[in-house]
Structure 1
Amino acid sequence: MEKYDPEAGTRKLKGIGGWIAFAGLLAFSLFHLYTGIFGVLTAQLQRSIHLGFALALIFLLFPARRKNRGKENRVAWYDIILAVISIIVGAYWPLMIDDLVLRAGMLTNLDFYVGLAAIILVLEATRRAVGLPITIIAIVFMLYALFGQSMPGFIAHRGLDLERLVQTMFFTTEGILGTPIGVSSTFIFLFLLFGSFLIKTGVGEYFNDLSIAIAGRSVGGPAKVAVFSSALQGTISGSSVANVVTSGAFTIPMMKNLGYKKEFAGAVEASSSTGGQLMPPIMGAAAFLMVEFIGGGITYWDIAKAAAIPAVLYFIGIWIMTHFEAKRIGLRGLTKEEMPSRKEVFSKLYLLLPIIAIVILLMSGMSVIRAALWSIVITVVVSALKKDTRIGFKGMVDALVDGARSALGVAAATAAAGIIVGVVTKTGLGLKMANGLLDLSGGYLLPTLFLTMVASLILGMGSPTTANYVITSTIAAPAIILLGIPDLSAHLFVFYFGIVADITPPVALAAFAAAAISGGEPFRTGVESSKLAISAFIIPYMFVLSPELLMIDTTWSYLIWVVFTAFIGMIAISAGVIGFWMRKMFWIERIFAVISGLCLIYPEKISDIAGLLLFALLFGLQRLKKSSNISKFQKIE
């Protein structure tokens, strides 16, 4: 398996520049460990120091031009200046906090220029570390804030002047220093450190070995390995694309070698890796943001528990589709010689203890920060049980540095997302958009859900998981909530479609990353990914119409029935989409299979009965041996 390179895409600094970057990354992690152990600082101090660290390190490590990523080994003079200004911006709140509190919003000239510099630095750092899409979105939102009086129709507002915009963005907790970066500077950073320690102990690679041991011998085994390993990788990865390039470097070549087409191999990995962001306990770090955004006493464990069944159904859907595709084209599993030693793989099950521990700690009611800290400690202890997983002092330092490096993009993305949230809050855009969607849908639930889905897919294109959720929950979720849908259902609905944007053309970043590994055509890989992830386009409607799937106000007997019918429905839809079940399906069978699946998934007794009857009929037809009439019909096809 190709090793994940934490420095990919950054400058390969040597000499004094390398040592400065190393020291900065290490200090970044130590600061968060210190505040995690001894108590988080006040909001403005914690967030501004976090921002200053992230901005300075991004300008040191990320070249201005993408074509130079991974090639430059020295810092340009202008990046040194930008890094120094970033340090000044990050230190401004700690140094001036007494004066800033006393003035309570009355900006001096110095305040104004520091705040303006913070906005410009955040935009440029986001462009370098994350990409253009979210940077452009943030700029568009600021232009909307400044020129609101010139906007058409219901989105028009009075407009803000530049000084008020700067004040909101940097001198309140509603902009850059708002909730998104607040979560980044506490929960997310520590969980990224946890993930870095897991990688150093070899857990990431172990997920692949465990997946092969469980599923490698079955029909289409390599594809099922990709599904299973990506679900596990999602517990420690905060990015669909990062998940693709780590596990995909191993699974995609293996699928191609056994006969899968390039596009399908890439699509299996892309759809599975994207689903990793939906899988508890970490969910691409968005779960921590949900706690803050939903409020109302909801806990992290409530969100992880609610997301569990939909996430499992998502992966079951992909698993079934890869199975049917493998049977359709006659693919085999791995041979005994190609398999790792099961005895050796299962002897390392102890490596899963940190994952199990964090679930237990969160279930016990421990705070997220404390749970993350203890999980890091448990990871180090578990790694020491055997020599080949022991990380030692150097390994721990490397894990701290790599964890800080992985947090840079998240910090930039959440800072940019804070700009968007600040504009939405200041202008009332969220409520305007919600009312606009309701007007378009006539106030009916299903049309509102459909329009919200489209809005979330568009808003989620090209954005990392955390920023993705911030944008969709701020702009799109209020429309569903206004119709009386529970907040948790509404937020998970927009979260799902924001994430699925990673595999939905035309901007399907995860699919494009998979295509780069498979050698397939990017757009076709995106289309195949969307087809494999068809369950992700259905499941959110399921849990909005039937909140029992989120374990909200339900009984165990009804929950079991809902999950059972949904599972049967997934089989029917998967067979219909692939065109194969026990044998090749006629086009009419495919249509009825999809109808049967949709009836089973829709949470009503009458639709369940109709779906089961149609499913049983199709099952019986599939079991029949091909008669001469059937063969003749297939020839006509």
Structure 2
Amino acid sequence: MAKDKRALSDAELQELVSANDSGARNPSGAVGTFIACVALAWSVFQVLLASPVAPYVLPSDAINNSRQIHLAFAIFLAAMAYPLFKSSPRDRIPWYDWILGLAGVFFALYGYFFYDKIVQNGGLADDTDAIAGLTGLILLFVAAYRVLGPVMVALALVFLFYVFFGSSDVVPDQIRWAGASLRKAMSHMWITSEGVFGIALGVSTRFVFLFVLFGALLDKAGAGNYFIKMAFGALGHLKGGPAKAAVVGSAATGLISGSSIANVVTTGTFTIPLMKRVGFSPEKAGSVEVASSVNGQIMPPVMGAAAFLMVEYVGISYVEVITHAFLPAVISYIALVYIVHLEAVKNDMPVIGDKVVSVGRTLGGMFAFFAGFAILCYATQYPVGWIVSLFPDGSGWILAALLAVVYVALVWVAARSPDLEPDDPNAEVVELPDLAKIYATGLYYLLPIVVLVYFLMIERKSPGLSAFWATFLLFGILLTQKPLKALFRGESDFAARLRDGVGDLIAGMIDGARNMIGIGLATATAGIIVGTVSLTGIGQVMADFVEFLSGGNLILMLIFVAILSLILGMGLPTTANYIVVSSLMVAVVVELGAQSGLIVPLIAVHLFVFYFGIMADVTPPVGLASFAAAAVSGGDAIKTGFIAFFYSLRTVALPFVFIFNTDLLLIDVTWTQGIVVFIVSTVGILVFTAATMGWFLAKNRIWETVAMLLIAFALFRPGFFMNQIQPPFEDIAPAAFEQALADARPGSTLRTVVSGPDFDTFEVKDVTVPLTVPEGATGAERLDALGLFLIPEGDAVYLDEPGFGTEIGDALSSFDFYGDERVTLTAVQADADQWPKELIFVPALALLGLIAMLQRGRASPAGGRAVPAAAE
């Protein structure tokens, strides 16, 4: 057997995380203090910006130009914290980095300094502005290269070259455009809010920073170690327990983390050695951690900061975004737990320790904890509502006092037990945590999360304000937890513990700012790509390219979009990854899907490309998370990446599922339907996992694997089979469309197919457009309400240009209504009476039961070897 590569030491791992997330340079002395003060100032500015008192404590110019200030901090700290070259010093800052950092600040704030002149010019750059914008872009590229590596910069440069040279004769006719002058390009990219200072940087400024700071402060308070210990206490004694605990622990840290690499190293330094000790190879141990950590990026509420961008791009509320994203993320994690369970069963892995545990009780206890936490978050609104109604003027102070009382009481409970210390996974004997003894030591860590969820889900406050109040509570926790524990324990070093609390708070705010450097630069650099799309119309070119490759086949189109999203996401952090793939690929799916008769909610398309974009963190040759896991495990990075991709097959399959079955995203479902969808989807993903792993209750036979894949498909998309039995739509003659509109129930949907010449290419295309039937006494009134103008001629029905600004007008805006070829209503469909698609579950589950009976007869009893956790 090949000898394992050397695993990195703790110091080397911390340097790896620093190099990726917060900067590898950390000079000492006055310069180090200065950098820390700048990072602290950035955190203070962002907290004040998100606070309700922002209009009273910050100048209006600073609020209006907060994006420029945000980027100025990011560029300066990048020059201070990240070496430009491999040979650059780590313990001091060379002269050229001071120049680059200060110049970056000036040009990032150019729009702030010369705001009046830019307004007078109507946002159009003059020659001076153009040179300043180009210089600013160069400095941004240098900073992005330091922090994000060459991939992001190279991608942005490709798009920028297309802006300037897209009209060149060497550019193929299919993608050629008119080109832009330097002044026009810099107006778009740097002077106005269309490019670098666009939506993405605005979201980073308003929302993302507070959530990253919240995660850094929560970790500094000790919550990360608490979550990991709780996961190991609950699952560590089971077969494959360390791997199961790694999944749950990574899910918990992924809730608050915006970095898959940091997640891998944070939890992996403890979980990977223990996984190796119970029989996982270095590559498989690393792969479990990679799959767990990368999945943290799809788990609400943060989703690697992409959730806040989706709010802006999709145009729905934050609560709707995390509601739609929740179920696929949860069942994906459930499937990953099942994957590691099957690995442990197949290889008859030993358990750690000799504790007798019940899998049912363990899973039941975990479900009870999460259900209880969810109920607590939901039920909080009732006592809060009573207090607000009884004391409308002073309710805020009363609620703050009650929260303080609860916090002090929970700290008192925690003080009765010793503080949790990180365990050594390489110790000769590992004693897994006892839940009964440790669960109370960190209950107060849940309070900021309760506050965050309450303001987001119940009060429906903005993400920024919600994160502010949760972060404000964390300020109090960091300042007081150590002094209060010292007081309750009767210790005499109260003042020293108070100084420790102040130090923890400052360190947490500095860590939060340094963790934001990469995200701030990523969103700014990705803004160049977004600006290129809006300036040049390259999105239509991407659609034509994918349509050419797929030959108009819907499934092939989705596969090619998935592959392109995977390629575009390689080497990019999650936030930049999502901006790039959504800017280029969402319109492709929407447009080509409509031409193929697939009508998908926009949030489903965004989640589709997001899922495949983040898979780039897993997939060789650029899978950054796989390389980080291999550094911890000592295994081969490429092999780790391929195994992690295999473990992530359910993450690959789910986007295809919810594109065709939006019930999985809880779109337009009732509470009862939602519960059924959750149960059936969970069974479906477990069956799919068992099929791909080749093991259910025993090793699968080939026909059993095929049957289970069919069962999983039926559970995830029962409508496919029901549509073969009964047609889902009733065809209506186009000439009878007005009468069908009059007969339809208001709020129901009619599907129309419109054919005509494309406004850009003049080629005839078909587009499927769903119409929601409006109120109205007659069909004519309903047509007017839709803004639709019909021109019947015999059996044919032609369309005039629809009303401007109407929904149907936006849907048909790509047609040329004034060409020789007329725009025609070619088909109309109404929903047909169909049996409930859930009937398909009955034969699917019956077949699953048959397979289970057959496998039970040949399944060997599960091994229960208990071995001491001796070092390898």
Question: Structure 1: which amino acid aligns with 2:37?
Answer: A
Query: Is 1:553–2:668 an aligned residue pair?
Result: yes
Q: Deviations over 1:82-138 (max 9, x none)?
A: 011012113322221111111223434432222111100111111111111111110
Match of 2:485 among 367, 384, 387: 387
Match of 1:124 among 123, 142, 150: 142
Question: Structure 2: which amino acid aligns with 1:361?
Answer: F
Q: Spell out the pairing of 1:11-90 with structure 2 (5 A cutoff).
A: 11-37=25-51, 38-39=54-55, 45-66=65-86, 72-90=90-108
Q: Spell out the pairing of 1:352-363 with structure 2 (5 A cutoff).
A: 352-363=446-457
Query: Is 1:328–2:346 an aligned residue pair?
Result: yes
Query: Is 1:365–2:460 an aligned residue pair?
Result: yes
- Is the 2:546–2:561 contact (alpha carbons within 8 Å) kept by the matching residues of 1? yes
Corresponding position of 2:580: 471
Shift of 1:404: 0.6
Q: Deviations over 1:2-37 (max 9, x none)?
A: 696775542121222212211211111111122222
Shift of 1:447: 2.8
Query: Is 1:201–2:221 an aligned residue pair?
Result: yes
Q: Deviations over 1:212-246 (max 9, x none)?
A: 11111111000001100111111111111111111
Match of 2:435 among 334, 339, 342: 342
- Is the 2:130–2:186 contact (alpha carbons within 8 Å) kept by the matching residues of 1? yes
- Is the 2:698–2:858 contact (alpha carbons within 8 Å) kept by the matching residues of 1? no
Match of 2:845 among 594, 597, 612: 612
Q: Deviations over 1:569-608 (max 9, x none)?
A: 2222222222222222334433333333233222434754
Match of 1:228 among 248, 259, 266: 248
Greater Cα shift, 470-479 or 11-20: 11-20
Match of 1:292 among 312, 325, 328: 312
Shift of 1:175: 0.8
- Is the 1:2–1:250 contact (alpha carbons within 8 Å) kept by the matching residues of 2? no
* Corresponding residue SS for 2:695: coil
* CA separation of 1:485 and 1:374: change in aligned 2, threshold 3 A: same
What is the alpha-carbon distance in structure 1 between the residues aligned to residue 127 and residue 242 of structure 2? 61
What is the alpha-carbon distance in structure 2 between the residues aligned to residue 359 and residue 153 of structure 1? 52
Q: How high is the sequence identity, in percent, across the aligned residues? A: 38
* CA separation of 1:573 and 1:346: change in aligned 2, threshold 3 A: same
- Is the 1:515–1:525 contact (alpha carbons within 8 Å) kept by the matching residues of 2? yes
Question: Structure 1: which amino acid aligns with 2:38?
Answer: G
Match of 1:270 among 290, 311, 325: 290
Corresponding position of 1:539: 654
TM-score for the superposition, normalised by structure 2:
0.69
* Corresponding residue SS for 2:606: helix
Q: Spell out the pairing of 1:384-533 with structure 2 (5 A cutoff).
A: 384-385=480-481, 387=485, 392-482=501-591, 483=594, 484-533=599-648
Corresponding position of 2:262: 242
What is the alpha-carbon distance in structure 2 between the residues aligned to residue 565 and residue 414 of structure 1? 38
Residues paired across the two proteins, number? 623
What is the alpha-carbon distance in structure 2 between the residues aligned to residue 108 and residue 141 of structure 1? 23
Query: Is 1:600–2:715 an aligned residue pair?
Result: yes
Structure 2: tracts of 5 or more residues without a match? 1-8, 356-429, 487-496, 720-836, 861-872
* CA separation of 1:609 and 1:433: change in aligned 2, threshold 3 A: farther
What is the alpha-carbon distance in structure 2 between the residues aligned to residue 494 and residue 215 of structure 1? 33
Q: Deviations over 1:537-585 (max 9, x none)?
A: 1111121111122111112333333322222222222222222222223
* Corresponding residue SS for 2:65: helix
Question: Structure 1: which amino acid aligns with 2:437?
Answer: E
Query: Is 1:161–2:181 an aligned residue pair?
Result: yes
- Is the 1:126–1:412 contact (alpha carbons within 8 Å) kept by the matching residues of 2? yes
Question: Structure 2: which amino acid aligns with 1:260?
Answer: F
Please state which structure has a larger fraction of its residues in helix.
1
What is the alpha-carbon distance in structure 1 between the residues aligned to residue 66 and residue 462 of structure 2? 18
- Is the 2:124–2:184 contact (alpha carbons within 8 Å) kept by the matching residues of 1? no
What is the alpha-carbon distance in structure 1 between the residues aligned to residue 187 and residue 321 of structure 2? 33
Q: Deviations over 1:308-343 (max 9, x none)?
A: 101001101111111000111111333256211322
What is the alpha-carbon distance in structure 2 between the residues aligned to residue 424 and residue 557 of structure 1? 42
Higher CA-based Rg: 2
Q: Spell out the pairing of 1:97-116 with structure 2 (5 A cutoff).
A: 97-116=115-134
Structure 1: tracts of 5 or more residues without a match? 628-637
- Is the 1:207–1:229 contact (alpha carbons within 8 Å) kept by the matching residues of 2? yes
Question: Structure 1: which amino acid aligns with 2:607?
Answer: L
What is the alpha-carbon distance in structure 2 between the residues aligned to residue 213 and residue 284 of structure 1? 27
Corresponding position of 1:632: none
Match of 2:695 among 572, 576, 580: 580
TM-score for the superposition, normalised by structure 1:
0.93
CA-based RMSD: 2.2
- Is the 1:44–1:93 contact (alpha carbons within 8 Å) kept by the matching residues of 2? no
What is the alpha-carbon distance in structure 2 between the residues aligned to residue 52 and residue 129 of structure 1? 15
Q: Deviations over 1:275-329 (max 9, x none)?
A: 000001111111011111112xx11111011111010011011111110001111
- Is the 1:545–1:603 contact (alpha carbons within 8 Å) kept by the matching residues of 2? no
Shift of 1:609: 4.2
- Is the 1:599–1:610 contact (alpha carbons within 8 Å) kept by the matching residues of 2? no
What is the alpha-carbon distance in structure 2 between the residues aligned to residue 106 and residue 539 of structure 1? 45
Corresponding position of 2:110: 92
Match of 1:256 among 270, 276, 289: 276
- Is the 1:562–1:603 contact (alpha carbons within 8 Å) kept by the matching residues of 2? no
Q: Deviations over 1:376-424 (max 9, x none)?
A: 1222344535538986222111111111100000011111100110111
Greater Cα shift, 408-417 or 126-135: 126-135
What is the alpha-carbon distance in structure 2 between the residues aligned to residue 573 and residue 202 of structure 1? 37
Shift of 1:440: 3.9
Q: Deviations over 1:358-388 (max 9, x none)?
A: 1121012111111011001222344535538
What is the alpha-carbon distance in structure 1 between the residues aligned to residue 93 and residue 571 of structure 2? 27
